[in-house]
Amino acid sequence: MIAANLMGVSNVYFLNLPDTMIMHDGITVSLLDEYIEKIEPEIVYVHSPKDYHQDHSNIAKSTLSSSRKMKNSIFLYETPSTTIEFRPVAYSDISDVFEDKLRCIEVYTSQSSKDYMEKEAIVGLAKVRGQTIGVKYAEAFEVARLFKW
């Protein structure tokens, strides 16, 4: 919750799914359906299904299923655990907020021991994506659906 507070996020919802055991199934999709219908997001950001971590991959697939009736855009983001099959087509310059991002990651202590949360990996990935679009730091996305632009 500390990271959410740093980002100014006031509403955080938890599905109470077991860590490392998230499935892409009717249970997960139904839980996500409830929140997607309630929130009605215009844009959804979720892990790419092309991720080595099974929870990341499965929650991405379930989110795509849950968004099936929504008129929204869906952007799939990468992490250091995303596979080489990830093919970004959209980029966002995060140079102005990159230090804030690092602070949020630092307080996300439940994941601090994970390889994909290593600061050097996150900085390196942001630099590489930044070089692609000519800025200091960037994030890259695959686009699952672009509803409005």
Residue 14, in any domain of the structure: no
Domain ranges, residue 99: 42-145
Residue 63 host element (H or E):
helix 54-66
Q: What is the pLDDT of residue 2?
A: 77
Percent of the chain past pLDDT 90, that is, above it, reads: 70
CA pair distance 146, 149, nearest whole angstrom? 7
Give residue 3's pLDDT band: very low, low, confident or very high (50, 70, 90). confident
Query: Band of the pLDDT at 26, cuts 50, 70, 90?
Result: very high
What residues pair up with 109 in beta bridges, in sequence order? none
Residues composing the chain: 149
Map residue 114 onto helix, strand or coil.
coil
Average pLDDT over residues 92-120: 84
Residue 129, judged by CB atoms within 10 A of its CB (0-12, 13-18, 19+), counts as buried
Strands of the sheet with 73-77, listed across from one edge? 43-47, 73-77, 138-145, 90-93
Q: Which amino acid is at 76?
A: L
Q: Is residue 57 part of a domain?
A: yes
How high does pLDDT run on average in the chain? 91
From residue 74, give the alpha-carbon distance in Å to each of 18, 19, 42, 45, 99: 25, 24, 9, 6, 25
Q: If you ran DSSP here, which 8-state letter would residue 12 be given?
A: -
Q: Is the pLDDT of residue 126 over 90?
A: yes
19 belongs to a structural domain = no
Domain membership flag for residue 86: yes
**pTM of the model as a whole:** 0.89
Percent of the chain at pLDDT > 70 equals: 94
Distance CA(126)–CA(2), nearest Å, equals 23
117 pLDDT band, cuts 50/70/90, is: confident
Is residue 23 situated within a structural domain?
Answer: no
* Model confidence pLDDT, tens digit, residues 48-84: 999 999 999 999 999 999 999 888 899 999 988 899 9
Count of structural domains within the chain:
1
CATH number for the domain that contains residue 54: 3.40.50.10320
In a domain, 64, yes or no: yes
Q: Is residue 109 in a domain?
A: yes
| Residue 30, in any domain of the structure | no
